[in-house]
């Protein structure tokens, strides 16, 4: 396996693992959820925000890969 492929795989795994513990909230959501006693709603909001944030990046990355693959195979 080429070194560049290994680096891409390691980088991809690192990026995916770094998103596992991400907690993102807007200011209004944070204020409302901090006043609640149960933290299950806060965790659900965090998970939803991370899901909504990651999906466009996955789609754009997939489309970019397909375009790259199409142009790369046509040159051979």
Q: How high is the pLDDT of residue 35? A: 72
Residue 28 to residue 44: CA distance in whole angstroms: 15
At residue 45, the pLDDT reads 78
Residues 9-68 have pLDDT tens digits of: 888 888 887 776 666 556 676 676 677 666 777 778 778 888 888 999 999 999 999 999
pLDDT at 74 over 70: no
CA distance 9 to 32: 40
pTM of the full structure: 0.44
pLDDT at 64: 94
Q: Give the chain's domain count.
A: 1
Which domain does 20 fall in, by range? 3-75
* 3-class DSSP state of 21: coil
């Amino acid at each position: 396996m080429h070194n560049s492929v290994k680096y891409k795989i390691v980088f991809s795994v690192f990026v995916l693992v770094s998103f596992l513990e991400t907690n993102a909230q807007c200011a209004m959501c944070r204020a409302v959820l901090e006043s609640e006693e149960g933290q299950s709603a806060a965790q659900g909001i965090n998970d939803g925000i991370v899901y909504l944030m990651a999906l466009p990046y996955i789609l754009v990355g997939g489309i970019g890969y397909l375009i790259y693959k199409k142009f790369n195979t046509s040159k051979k």
